[in-house]
Amino acid sequence: MNKENFLKISKDYIALTKPKVISLLLVTAISGMFLANGSTPSLILIIIIIVGGTLASGGAGAINHFIDKDVDQLMKRTSNRPVASNRVTPKKALSFGVFLTILSFIILYFGSNFLAAILAILGNVFYVFIYSLWLKKTTSHNIVIGGIAGCFPPLVGWAAVTGSLSLPAWYLFAIIFFWTPPHFWALAMLMNEDYKEAKIPMLPTIIGFRKTQIMILTHTIILIALTLALTIVSSNLGIIYLLGSIILGVMYLNYTIRLIVKYTTKKNLGLYKFSLLYLFLICMTIIIDSSNIIG
């Protein structure tokens, strides 16, 4: 195998892991670590969570490519994925995903503790079996319930530090639970024709854009309330996080309300992009405030 072919194959296998998804999940996991510790956690433990979390999420992503091959081929956004475009065989994608998942459990178990390892595996199980194999193609509530899979990383980070779970950890879980639907509904409106073609019952294709926008607003209001309530239930957060969550919440509401007032694709895309930035910045304010880097 020459260098060029090796690089192409490597690029495809990296794509199987969905790196963009991994990066955001890792930020949520690390925010859970900092909040649990009340200061900067052990660098070694952070590295273990980054490696283990990357492998767990990457494993789930690869298995998802195997499951969604036929659907991905019908959608413009996903038709060039490695399995959908037949650059990687479904069997190899599945084997790769299972291998990464097992390796992640081993690293998290021996590097942190059993609870962190089992939570990571539960997240994968939920994503693969509950969301990908069951909910995604059968109900418009797919992303509401299936989104639980993405709520596990902060629990993994918290458990890695403390060996247990407590109320603030579950608030982080709830924050991501209510963040996920409006984020994906914004994407679903952008890709509405794709989802129709693939016969995936995303909310906008079932109830229409207007009602979906109201659902986005409802979830966003609950999300903002939860981010503010986190200040109350966690003694490790102070004014930096409080101000940050208020400012970000107001901005998120503004994007959502502007879309409801008058829908345009540009506003929808702006909402979708900001939702990504919102979760990243919320997690960063948790990390900064918990670590006592400032003040």
Residue 8 has pLDDT above 90, yes or no: no
Neighbours of 229 (CB within 10 A): 14
Encoding tokens for residue 53? 């979390």
Q: Which residue has the tokens 């649990």?
A: 36
Give the tens place of pLDDT for each residue, 109-122: 999 999 999 999 99
Residue 295 has pLDDT above 60, yes or no: no
Report domain extents, the chain: 9-291
* Secondary structure (3-state) at 159: helix
What gap in Å lies between CA 152 and CA 179, rounded to an integer?
13
Determine the length of the chain: 295
Question: With contact defined as beta carbons under 8 Å apart, do 16 and 61 qualify?
Answer: yes
Q: What single-letter DSSP state applies at residue 127?
A: I
- The pTM for the full model equals 0.95
Q: Identify the CATH number of the domain defined by range 9-291.
A: 1.10.600
Q: Which residue has the tokens 């679903």?
A: 188
Q: What is the pLDDT of residue 1?
A: 65
